[in-house]
Structure 1
Amino acid sequence: MRGVKRVALVVVVLLVAFVVLAFVLENKQSVSLSLLGQASRQLPVSVFVVLALIVGMLIGPLLGMMMRSRRRKPILTAQY
């Protein structure tokens, strides 16, 4: 059973890597993003999207850990 899970994980990782590679190769148009009056230099669309993906993958688990730690704190109630 463990071997099947490993093979499935490898297949999923390879599939995701293939999709990201295909996306990068298909989106080579240069664009410049502008936010609050600041413009970035011209880079391919895929660079911005992959960077957003990586930032989301880093921030998502951190927010999940913060929410879990808030739930574990005991709620103090007034005792009469």
Structure 2
Amino acid sequence: MRGIKRVFLVLAVLAVALVVLAFVLENQQGVSLSFLGWTTLQLPVAVYVVAALIVGLMVGPLLCVLASATRRHKRTSIARE
């Protein structure tokens, strides 16, 4: 059973890698982003999308940790009263 799970995991990782590779190869046209007067360099669309994904993957768990710490702090302060 362990071997089947490992094979499925490897196949899933390969499928995700192939989808990402296809996305990057399909989105090679250069774009420049502008926001509130700031303009970025002209880079492929895939660079910006992957950068947004990485930032989201870092910010999401950080917000969850902060929210759980805030809840934990509120529970302990209520219990003390």
TM-score (structure 1 length as normaliser): 0.80
Alignment match, 1:13: 13
Q: Which has the higher helix share?
A: 2
Q: 1:35 to 1:61 in 2, by over 3 A?
A: same
Residue 72 of structure 1: aligned partner: 72
Aligned residue pair count = 79
Q: Could you say if the C-alpha distance between residues 71 and 54 of structure 1 is closer, same or farther in structure 2, counting changes exceeding 3 Å?
A: same
Aligned equivalent of 1:35: 35
SS at match of 1:65: helix
Q: Return the alpha-carbon distance in structure 2 between the equivalents of residues 22 and 36 of structure 1.
A: 32
Q: Distance in 1 between matches of 2:22 and 2:77?
A: 49
Question: What's the RMSD between the two structures over aligned residues?
Answer: 1.9
SS in 2 for 1:28: coil
Structure 1's unaligned 5+ residue stretches are none
Q: Percent identity?
A: 58
Q: Which amino acid aligns with 1:58?
A: M
Shift of 1:65: 1.4
Q: After the TM superposition, which segments of 4 or more aligned residues of structure 1 sit over 6 Å from their partners?
A: none
Structure 2 residue runs without a partner (length 5+): none
